[in-house]
Amino acid sequence: MKREKEKVKHKNYDDVRRALFQLPRQHAGQMKELAEYAGINYDRLRRATSDVETTREGRDISLVEALRLMEVAEDFSVLFAMCSELGFETPHRWEEEIPRKVGCDELMKETLAISSSIGELSGVIKSAVADSRISEVERRQILDAVEKSQHELEKVRHMVFKAS
């Protein structure tokens, strides 16, 4: 019994391409050094991050190579662009939400937001299990409440990390 896979609409991932193009150029004149430290052939890196459409051969770099490149360059914009394209939260979004200087009032405000989101989660679970079964709608509500609580916890973690 074979299940047919749904056809996935392919995205262009323009933000990822743009970030990959910009990454070595932000370190002006150091692309050769960057390639050497990341363990990537210079010509391969130059072709992979070129904005000129060339043949596919030699144009792509592997995920491991991209990770090495980001680590060496200390620039994770490619990863942030990938996360954004796939719909995940990124630290860039948190920086917009969290003030530069973290004070006690901001930390207390976020702590109250965590308490509130956990209270909502508790209420959703309580009403979902009241009839001893969880419907699909209730399951989605629980997952949404969990995601909101996790987001609030991550904001506090990011605030405390930023304060140190």
Q: What is the pLDDT of residue 1?
A: 42
In 3-state terms, what secondary structure has residue 60? coil
CB 131 within 8 A of CB 114: no
What is the domain extent for residue 60?
Answer: 14-87
What value does the mean pLDDT take over residues 63-83?
Answer: 81
Is residue 107 included in any domain, yes or no?
Answer: yes
What value does the mean pLDDT take over residues 46-53?
Answer: 72
Same domain flag for 156 and 98: yes
Same domain flag for 64 and 81: yes
**Comparing C-alpha atoms, which of 59, 63, 15, 68 is closest to residue 40?**
68
| The total number of structural domains that make up the chain | 2
| Whether the predicted model's global pTM rises above the 0.75 cut | no
Tokens of 23: 């990454």
Q: What is the pLDDT of residue 141?
A: 92
